[in-house]
Structure 1
Amino acid sequence: MVTLGLLHTSPAHVPVFDALRDAHRPALELRHYVDESLLERARQEGPDAVAADVRAALERAVADGAGAVLCTCSTIGGVAEEVGEGGVPVLRVDRPMAAEAVAAGPRIVVLATVESTLGPTVELVEEEARRAGRAAEVRPVLVAGAWELFGAGDTDGYVHSVAAAVAEVRDADAIVLAQASMAVAQELVREQGGAHAPVLSSPAPGFSAAARLV
């Protein structure tokens, strides 16, 4: 059976990607690797500080038979792609989303609930814009207080805070939800009709792209 490895920094992502597999690629075997300390250290010391541990996690996934590895953490996704693992493809979950945002237009707002995610995501969108030969004016916005709600297990409060931040965005061609954990706010945004631009999240397009790699 074909295997896709997934590197997470929160166990909350496991059921999200299991559901995507069940809905779209039931024959694909997923192996999840969760290390919450990677995000904690990256927030404190910077993403490069966890490069060796990320490489070790990728090596373990490949040793377990992964045909490709998807990193679902936006903060360390760039590091995961950089350190790679031999001939096995490594993809950061937000890259396909960034490409979609660039295609939507030049005015892109990046929303994040963790400050350490803003820089890497902005850089990724700008990278995808250069690759596509398009202009991009990227505006980062931190949803203050939301991550504390997530950490406390208040998923409802987290989702509503993200949706409220989306509703406040004006003058944008696309709104990027920088972290995979923010994707659950998309449905609430649709129900409320509060978005003034397309709202993009990473799990579904990231999973689809990784599945194609294997």
Structure 2
Amino acid sequence: MTSETNGQIKDPTKGKPPMPQPRKLTFIHTVKTLEPVFAVLAAERLPGWQIASVVEESLLSNVIANGHVSQEVFDRLTRHVHKAEEDGSSAIIVTCSTLGEVVDALAAKTATPLFRIDRGMAEQAVNQASTIGILATLPTTLDPTTRLLEGTGKRMGRQCKFVSRLVNEAFARLKSGDQEGHDLLVQEAYATLSSEVELVVLAQASMARALQAGQHHRPYLTSPELGMDQIAGLLRLSRMSGD
């Protein structure tokens, strides 16, 4: 839109700073059903940000098949991170706890802020309890989550005892489409483990739904909400949120 004064055409936008472009947050998922979950959490905590997602379930499948994070998985995740940077991301979040230690390694040499989703959960757990149960449906997630909690406890000067428990068959049930069977196994394992500890940590975001209803003997923590709370807070402190 322009206006005319004394026979001259004036552009009302001239001399004004350009409108800032929205910040872009990219999620890298290995479980497709988590994509809408995190989209909602991000929209609530970082309003005005553009949300993008990459889903590659084969990253997790490869780790499960090999029993460890292979060089191939490391390289493919690295390519996803670099592509997100090239596409203009202001921050990147990997929502797979199994890949958490890889994310830490990549974050140390990535210019764009790169986050693992489970650090906020770990910090709250060691602040809140001294005996902590760790529940997972995959051994490839149980071990890195246990190491994260142990390292977090040492860093924060907390003397904590950790009790790890693997829920056999639950993840296979989930992958086959048997959500009810998965949830039942998680609920049973939680009931047993919670009798031994003050608090239970669910190592995988995909486990959260299993305990959303019903009474619970002990409190439990999951990574999506706590992880997004922590990351959004860090982005606001870095003045990246646009708030």
Question: Do they fold alike, i.e. is TM over 0.5?
Answer: yes
The residue that corresponds to 2:104 in the other structure is: 81
- Residue 199 of structure 1: CA displacement? 0.4
Question: Counterparts of 2:34 and 2:112 in 1: how far apart (Å)?
Answer: 22
**2:72 paired with 1:47:** no
Question: Counterparts of 2:200 and 2:31 in 1: how far apart (Å)?
Answer: 23
* TM-score where L is the length of structure 2: 0.81
Distance 1:20 1:123, change over 3 A: same
* TM-score where L is the length of structure 1: 0.92
The residue that corresponds to 2:10 in the other structure is: none
**2:93 paired with 1:70:** yes
Question: Counterparts of 2:43 and 2:103 in 1: how far apart (Å)?
Answer: 25
Cα RMSD for the two superposed structures = 1.6
Quick check: 1:51–1:83 contact (8 Å CA) kept in 2?
A: no
Question: Counterparts of 2:53 and 2:47 in 1: how far apart (Å)?
Answer: 16
Quick check: 1:4–1:211 contact (8 Å CA) kept in 2?
A: no
Question: Counterparts of 2:171 and 2:79 in 1: how far apart (Å)?
Answer: 27
- Residue 43 of structure 1: CA displacement? 2.2
The residue that corresponds to 2:6 in the other structure is: none
Note the 1:1-214 alignment, pairs <5 A.
Answer: 1-45=22-66, 46-49=68-71, 50-84=73-107, 86-169=110-193, 170-188=195-213, 191=214, 193=215, 195-212=216-233, 213=235, 214=240
Look at both structures and tell me which one has the larger radius of gyration over its CA atoms: 2
Count of aligned pairs:
210
Which gives a bigger RCO, structure 1 or 2 (Cα 8 Å, sep 6+)?
1
Question: Counterparts of 2:43 and 2:178 in 1: how far apart (Å)?
Answer: 26
Question: Counterparts of 2:220 and 2:202 in 1: how far apart (Å)?
Answer: 7
Question: Counterparts of 1:63 and 1:143 in 2: how far apart (Å)?
Answer: 39
Query: Which structure 2 residue ranges, 5 or more long, are not aligned?
Result: 1-21
- Residue 203 of structure 1: CA displacement? 0.5
- 1:37-92 deviation per Cα after TM superposition (whole angstroms, max 9, x unaligned): 11112223312532111111111111111111111101112101211252211111
Question: Counterparts of 1:42 and 1:76 in 2: how far apart (Å)?
Answer: 9
Amino acid at match of 1:6: F
Question: Counterparts of 2:41 and 2:75 in 1: how far apart (Å)?
Answer: 29
Amino acid at match of 1:103: N
Amino acid at match of 2:98: T
Amino acid at match of 1:77: G
- 1:87-117 deviation per Cα after TM superposition (whole angstroms, max 9, x unaligned): 2111111110011110112211110011110
Identity %: 34
Quick check: 1:177–1:200 contact (8 Å CA) kept in 2?
A: yes
